[in-house]
Structure 1
């Protein structure tokens, strides 16, 4: 009997199709491997120059974004390259800074890249950020010695609105809360000041005390940022959740007023804003038409 269905594909054609599929997969795999390999070479070259620019002891991590790398390499321009360096020390207080840089429009000729003769990398736009972690903020606060406070532990940082810096949301009227909400909508992430809540535990006057300071982190000069607390909340076994005597509170707020100096931003970036994230205070800014120089060794 004959099969009324579709005719069978000849075995020779099936084998040819299978070979084409396998060949295509192999070629794609090779192209992907070459793409990643070429990207690794480029990232190494940029990392060396960034290390010199940052004056680091180790090469920072470099990542080329977008696919494919080779398509960008043939054009000689890379849309987005990021650089991250961790554990960067500045003097004795700030020992664990993080540096994050976004490079937009990175120009590097493919021929120079492949030959290893790449002497410099031109960048159309740079956005740099130096992040100060809670551990460094804790050390900076303890440098403001206060006889009432013998230790600080478990320090945390959280972003808050500028309205929350001035008053407790639970104590506002509906009209005050509405005004605070409107003001928060107008706040800008790229501003020279931002609200921050810094909480910690400490030995205050011999009592283990939990406290939270509400204040503004402000860009004051160069890349320096200053935290100025406006109000304080405390809790311990004696006070419960209450207030310290006025002079004690004033002394604690003075101790918590701290200036952080993370040094110059990378690539001569001009500081333009401060930012508060969970566990981090940061200074950031932009620069244009920057050159990453260095030897091509």
Structure 2
């Protein structure tokens, strides 16, 4: 007669293991939620300060990149903060700046501020190792400025993809010119004429200078007005300083906009 071997209590161990897994998952979810909540609080405080600094009508969009946030917070070093503000008007009568629909952006590399100060909104001592600022000047502002000289309508901005980009001697050097294609309409003696203009934009003393090389009209019988249109589109657009007082050093053409960029190092998050 063989002895009966009692079965091992596997159910208790199985339940214990499931309980531990569920506990770990719940704690993980809570930690992630807490991390995002702290990041959101920090983003809100930076947005408030940026609204004052950039003199905006509403809070910009602020994103503190990198996960987990708490590790950056404990170090007091936020490796990459992205700030965006859309549809920003800038008017300075003394400087002759009158733009109504700018997109402003800034990438902040290594923003240094203690977590307690950040959450309290006390960022007077906060510094940034490097800021890359940008401003986009969009077609509606170009159309309005061009319309002050000659009646233009529906002007659009595109890169001129017919032109091969030359290989620069220094690949790291900022690009100060870019090929452009402008399309739109004008009115000649009560007749609507469609035009396509090709040329380039150049960075001149922190401003964009448009230079048109040639213009194509849908009605070649009106080619005598091409020199007039070329002159009317030779517009200089000065957006002033970029965010954080950055001086523009590079220019490029995107679909629908001219973009100015520049960098500055060792700057305060807010003016002292």
TM-based fold match above 0.5: yes
The equivalent residue for 1:177 is none
In the alignment, the residues of structure 1 paired with residue 261 and residue 221 of structure 2 have an alpha-carbon distance, to the nearest angstrom, of: 36
Q: Which is richer in helix? A: 1
Is the 1:124–1:289 Cα contact (8 Å) retained in structure 2? yes
Does the CA-based 8 Å contact 1:219-1:274 persist in structure 2? yes
Q: Is the 8 A contact 2:111 2:128 kept in 1?
A: yes
Shift of 1:245: 3.2
Matched, 1:255 2:232: yes
Q: Distance in 2 between matches of 1:109 and 1:287?
A: 22
Name the counterpart of 1:94: 99
SS of alignment partner, residue 283 of structure 1: strand
User: Tell me, what secondary structure is at the counterpart of 1:126?
Assistant: strand
Q: Secondary structure at the match of 1:194?
A: strand
Query: If the length of structure 1 is used for normalisation, what is the TM-score?
Result: 0.81
Between the aligned partners of 1:62 and 1:132, the Cα distance in structure 2 is: 21
Instruction: Name 1:176's counterpart in structure 2.
Output: none
- CA shift for structure 1 position 184: 2.8
In 2, distance between residues paired with 1:141 and 1:8?
87
Kindly indicate whether the alpha-carbon contact (under 8 Å) linking 1:100 and 1:130 is maintained by their aligned counterparts in 2: yes
1:190 and 1:8 map into 2 onto residues whose CA distance is 73
Contact 1:49 1:294 in 2 (8 A): no
Q: Give me the TM-score of the superposition, normalised by structure 2.
A: 0.88
Matches within 5 A, 1:4-153: 10-91=10-91, 93-144=98-149, 146=150, 149=151, 151-153=152-154
Matched, 1:245 2:250: no
Q: How many residues align?
A: 259
Q: Deviations over 1:153-211 (max 9, x none)?
A: 2x2111126x74xxxxxxxxxxxxxxxx5x63449683111111111123233222211
Runs of 4+ in 1 over 4 A off after TM superposition: none
Deviations 1:62-81 (A, max 9, x none): 00111111111111101111
Q: CA RMSD in A?
A: 2.2
Contact 2:199 2:212 in 1 (8 A): yes
SS of residue paired to 1:270: coil
Match status 1:227 vs 2:196: no
Distance 2:128 2:145 in 1: 35
Counterpart position of 1:289:
266
Structure 2 alignment gaps of length 5 or more: 1-6, 92-96
In 1, distance between residues paired with 2:256 and 2:239? 16
**Equivalent residue for 1:214?**
198
Cα gap change, 1:24 to 1:205, in 2 (>3 Å): same
Question: 1:233–1:243: 8 Å Cα contact kept in structure 2?
Answer: no
Deviation digits for residues 12-31 of structure 1 (CA, Å, limit 9, x no counterpart): 11211111111111111111
Structure 1 pair 24–231 and aligned structure 2 pair: CA distance change class (3 A)? same
CA deviations 1:254-297 (Å, max 9, x no partner) are 111111121211111121011110001011100000101269xx
Change (3 A) 1:116 1:254: closer
